[in-house]
Chains A and B, each alone.
Chain A
Amino acid sequence: MSATNSEPTILDRYEDFRTRRFLRHEETYANALPRWRTQHRRRMLVVGIGASLGLMACVSVVCAFGFRQAALLWVPATLVFFPMWLMLQIVLGRQGDAPRRTLDEFELQQRNNARSIGLVVTQNLMLLPIGYLIIASTTMRDVDAKAALDMAYAGGLMTLAVLMIGGCLPAMILGWTRRSDELAT
């Protein structure tokens, strides 16, 4: 039989550290952006983030056709993405990546559902850059170095876009589905 009161492992200690750090940061931003804590405003943020991620994905596809200058559009997409992402994380209380002990059972259930969807979407979308790189590298055997560089560059951008979409999706789902903060009634 195993002892029930075992010594905390290194993972337990790291989780404690993460929890304390999260609560310290969360305390700072708990009441920030009060007007953005409604469902309507959260959905606006999700739409904005979705649009910027969509633009990143489009840029990566355009780059695959040899238009490397299209990558410049990644910059405005990033400039739109980061403030909106930070705002969404603040108004959600970082529910998407909060340590387990800081969430109650309903929040954990919601987060697990959102993460599950995010994982499935990531796995499926990741097949696109993988397929592109495999197929392009086998069919473009006799191209010059520039075309090969374009292919690798576009493949990298596609992978980055897909990872960002998959990574952000749980928080986007939570931001979309979570109701407005309850009034004290």
Chain B
Amino acid sequence: MTRAQLAELINVNPQTVGALERGDHYPSLDLAFRICDVFGLPVEAVFSRKPFAPLSTELYARNDRAQGGAHVRHEQ
């Protein structure tokens, strides 16, 4: 999806989408929900106070934690 397409869907200027991506603008609750509606995702999946880690990192970290947890449970 291009910035222009997203901008049209959420009824803002493409410059505003760029500003959101760069972190130059914090969206209002209304705009945040409009963006989430476009992607069909909850707010916490689209916006975060900290930069998102790569998906692979999160996925492998979760697998490691699961395996680690299983290992601990096995030892017990």
Contact = CB atoms under 8 A, between A and B. Distances in A.
Interface of A: 104-107, 109, 178-179, 181-185
Contacts of B11: 104
15 contacts: A104-B11, A105-B16, A105-B25, A105-B28, A105-B31, A106-B15, A106-B19, A106-B20, A109-B25, A181-B14, A181-B15, A182-B4, A183-B3, A184-B3, A185-B2
Contacts of A185: 2-3
Interface of B: 2-5, 11-20, 25, 27-28, 31
B2 A106 contact: no
Contacts, number: 41
Contact of A178 (B4, B15, B25): B15
A107 B18 contact: no
Given A182-B4, A184-B3, A104 B12 contact: yes
A122 B16 CA distance: 29
Nearest to B17: A182
B34 to A, nearest CB: 11
Contacts of B13: 104, 106-107
Nearest to B3: A182
Chain B contact residues, majority secondary structure = helix
A182 B25 contact: no
B4 A184 contact: yes
Contacts of B25: 105-106, 109
Contacts of A178: 15
Contacts of B15: 106-107, 178-179, 181-182
B2 A107 contact: no
Contacts of A183: 3
A114 B5 CA distance: 28
Shortest Cβ-Cβ A-B pairs, 3 listed = A104-B12, A106-B16, A182-B14
A179 B12 CA distance: 16
B18 A179 contact: yes
